[in-house]
Structure 1
Amino acid sequence: MMNRNIVKIAVLVFTAFTVIVFYQTYLQVFQSSRLFNHPRNRRTQMLEEAIIRGRIIDSAGRELAHTITAGPEKRRIYPYGETTAHITGYNSDRYGRWGLESSYNETLLGLQGGFTGDDFWALKRIGPVKNGNDLILSVNVNLQEKAYAMLGARKGAVVAVEPSTGRILAMVSRPGFNPEHIESDWPGLKENPDSPLLNRAAQGLYPPGSVMKVITAAGILTSKPETVQRVFDAPGYIIVEGRRIEDKQAVGRLSFAEAFARSSNYVFATLGIEQGSRVFAEMARSFGLGLNIPFDIPTAQSRMPDPGSLSKLELAESAIGQGRVLVTPLNMALATAAAANRGRVMKPTLVDRIVSPEGAVVWSGQPSLLWNPVTARVSDVLREIMVSCVASGTGREAAVPGIRVAGKTGSAENPHGQPHAWFIGFAPAEKPVVAVAVIIENGGAGGREAAPIAREIIRSVIGQKR
Structure 2
Amino acid sequence: MDQAMAHIFGSDRGDPGLERALFGVQSGALPEALEVVEGKGVAFKGNSDVRLTIDRDLQQAAVDQLKGKHGAVVVLNPQTGEVLALYSEPSYSLKEVEDETAWIKLEANQRDRPLVSRALGAYYIPGSTFKTVTMTAAFLAGVQDTEFTCSGGGYYAAPGANPIFDDGGAGEVHGRIGIETAFEVSCNQYFAQMGVKLGPERLKQAAQLLGIGAYDTPAEALRGRKEPEIWNASTDAIKRALAPREATIVTGKQVTRYDLALMGYGQGYAGQMTPFQMALAAAAIANMDGKLMKPKIEFNRPPEMFKQVMTPQVAARLRSIMGLVTGGPRGTARGVFAPLKAAGINTGGKTGTAQKVVPVYDPKTGEPKTRHKVEKDNKGNIIREYEETIMDEDHPRVDAWFLCIAPLERPQIAIAVIVEGGGYGSKSAAPIAAALVLKAKDLGYFKVVDNQSGQAGSQRGQQGNQRQPRAVTTPRR
Per-residue CA deviations over 1:282-306 (Å, capped at 9, x if unaligned) read 2112111118253341311111113
* TM-score normalised to structure 2 length: 0.70
Q: CA offsets, 1:381-410, max 9 Å, x none?
A: 211110011112112224523111011111
Q: 2-side partners of 1:389 and 1:144: how far apart?
A: 25
Partner of residue 409 from structure 1, selected from 351, 354, 357 = 351
Task: Percent identity, please.
Answer: 33
How much does 1:111 deviate?
6.7
**Structure 2 Cα separation of the partners of residues 289 and 223 of structure 1:** 17
- Give unmatched runs, 5+ long, in structure 2: 31-44, 215-226, 232-237, 359-395, 448-477
* Structure 2 residue aligned with 1:46: none
CA contact (8 A) 2:148 2:193 kept: no
Residues 107 and 161 of structure 1: CA distance in aligned 2, closer, same or farther (over 3 Å): farther
Residue of structure 1 aligned with 2:150, choices 193, 217, 234: 234
Counterpart of 1:206? 124
Q: For 2:440 and 2:195, how far apart are their aligned partners in 1?
A: 35
User: Which residue does 1:340 correspond to in 2?
Assistant: 286
Q: CA deviation at 1:240?
A: 2.3
Instruction: Say whether 1:197 aligns with 2:133.
Output: no
Q: How does 1:9-408 map to 2 (within 5 A)?
A: 80-90=1-11, 92=12, 95=13, 98-106=16-24, 131-184=46-99, 185-193=102-110, 194-225=112-143, 227-228=144-145, 230-236=146-152, 237-241=154-158, 242-247=161-166, 248=168, 249=172, 251-290=174-213, 292=227, 293-295=229-231, 296=238, 297-325=242-270, 326-341=272-287, 342-352=289-299, 364-392=300-328, 393-396=331-334, 397-399=336-338, 400-401=340-341, 402-408=344-350
State the structure with more CA Rg: 1
**Offset of residue 444 of structure 1:** 0.8
Q: Is the contact between residue 193 and residue 261 of structure 2 (CA under 8 Å) also seen in structure 1?
A: yes
User: Are the structure 2 counterparts of residues 250 and 159 from structure 1 closer, same or farther at C-alpha, using a change threshold of 3 Å?
Assistant: farther
Aligned equivalents of 1:413, 1:199: Cα separation in 2: 21
In the TM superposition, residue 97 of structure 1 has moved relative to its aligned partner by 5.8
Deviations 1:254-289 (A, max 9, x none): 332111100001110001100111111221121111
Q: Tell me if the contact between 2:128 and 2:265 (Cα under 8 Å) persists in the aligned partners.
A: yes
User: For residues 266 and 200 of structure 1, what CA distance do their matches in structure 2 show?
Assistant: 30
Unaligned runs of 5+ in 1: 1-79, 113-129, 353-363
1:253 positional shift: 3.5
Give per-residue Cα distances to partners, 1:347-400, cap 9 Å, x unaligned. 101121xxxxxxxxxxx3100001222222221221111001111211222452
CA distance in 1, matches of 2:414, 2:212: 18
* Change beyond 3 A, Cα 1:277–1:251: same
Q: CA deviation at 1:324?
A: 2.3
User: For each residue in 1:213-239, what CA deviation from the matched residue of structure 2 results, as whole angstroms up to 9, or x when unmatched?
Assistant: 1110111112124x33x4443114212
Q: Please report the RMSD computed on the Cα atoms of aligned residues, expressed in angstroms.
A: 2.2
Equivalence for 1:21: none
TM-score by structure 1 length? 0.72
- CA–CA separation in structure 2 for the residues paired with 1:154 and 1:327: 20
Q: Return the letter of the residue paired with 2:281.
A: A
Distance change (3 Å), C-alpha of 1:97 and 1:304: closer
How many angstroms apart in 2 are the aligned matches of 1:275 and 1:453? 33
Q: How much does 1:108 deviate?
A: 11
Larger RCO (CA under 8 A, 6+ residues apart): 2
Query: How far did residue 203 of structure 1 move?
Result: 1.2
Give the 3 Å change call, closer, same or farther, for CA 97–318 of structure 1 in structure 2. Answer: closer
How far off is 1:207 after superposition?
1.1
Cα distance in 1, alignment partners of residues 253 and 311 from structure 2 = 26
Larger helix proportion, structure 1 or 2?
A: 1
Distance 1:109 1:434, change over 3 A: farther
Q: Given that residues 285 and 304 in structure 1 are in contact (C-alpha distance below 8 angstroms), is that contact kept between their aligned partners in structure 2?
A: no
Q: Give yes or no for contact 2:157–2:193 (8 Å, CA) kept in 1.
A: no
Instruction: Provide the rounded CA distance (Å) in 2 between the counterparts of 1:147 and 1:250.
Output: 37
CA gap 1:222/1:155 in 2 versus in 1, 3 angstroms: same
